[in-house]
Structure 1
Amino acid sequence: VVECVALAAQTGLREGPKGQPERDRWGVSRTDRKQGQPAEVLVDNTYDYDVASFKDIGVGKDMCDVLRRVGYGQPFAVQLGSFEAIKRGGNVVLAAETGSGKTLAYLIPLLEAMLQQAKDGVRVRKRALILQPNRELCVQTAKVVQLLLSKFPDGLGTCIRTA
């Protein structure tokens, strides 16, 4: 299940109590509590790779075919720089301009993992909750997910539901 929730929020962290990590307005720190690792902050235009395709960064054949069908032949810089970190499952903060490919940067590894679990018949599957700052971005993200899933062969994409 992939859910997209609009969340009107201010960004920025506040300093925590002495010796504690900085926290946002909801008291959440930048530290991944499960792994004890700080979030990786990835900023577009800091990666200068000469990559010909999504396959070159480790995207699977099915997803590469779907991306090509919907008009994405080559990854953007933000996708190149973030794919491995997101695929590992750590906390990642993407900072880049509008239209730079952030949505696909996090959706590709997420959807690949979900689809692989469906192929493998895993009963307890990955779930995702995608928080966006406004309704328009939620709608955009849901449309991208639905577009990608609709292009998978053999109805495989129907194993994932968006809300």
Structure 2
Amino acid sequence: MFQDGEYASCDFFIETVLDGPKKHSSKVLPSLFWVNVSCSFTCRCHNAPVQHPRENSIKSVLRITPSMFEQNGISPSDAHQLVTLWASAGLHGVSGLQCRQCTVNSKKQGGCKAHPIKDIDAKLDEVSIISPPESNPPLHLYFHLDLGTIFTHDDRHAFMAEMDWPFKLT
């Protein structure tokens, strides 16, 4: 049951309904909701690009986190600038992925117990760029504000309240 004025998300429902080309053969959905997300990954330790299966994907839900604003020097109230940067030069961030080469090297240097993975900063940096799957942008974009890193109720409300969504993105 939804309570008026309380946080509610239909994120799972929307993702299930619009779940990319894997489940739907509709020719209309790509023009309505789908967006290509291209990511390039770089390892901090050996400062080199890393190939990963998650480099290119099609999304129907674009997740926005507070860290996206912080890591790219954008005010949390400026969603337009965030999306514009995301669609042009790309958003910088730290992925949850780890560099295989670094984790394998740490195990070779004296066994798994010698250098636990948590001691090595093997997280991959990423640059994420969104683009339309075809020549025309989708008619609708579904954004989900992921507020899992904001723990207090008041802070979540304050973050959502200062968010200024533009009527139209160009």
TM range (shorter): under 0.3
Taking structure 2 as the reference length, what is the TM-score of the superposition?
Answer: 0.26
TM-score when normalising by structure 1: 0.27
Q: Name the structure with the higher helix share.
A: 1
The answer to which structure has the higher strand fraction is: 2
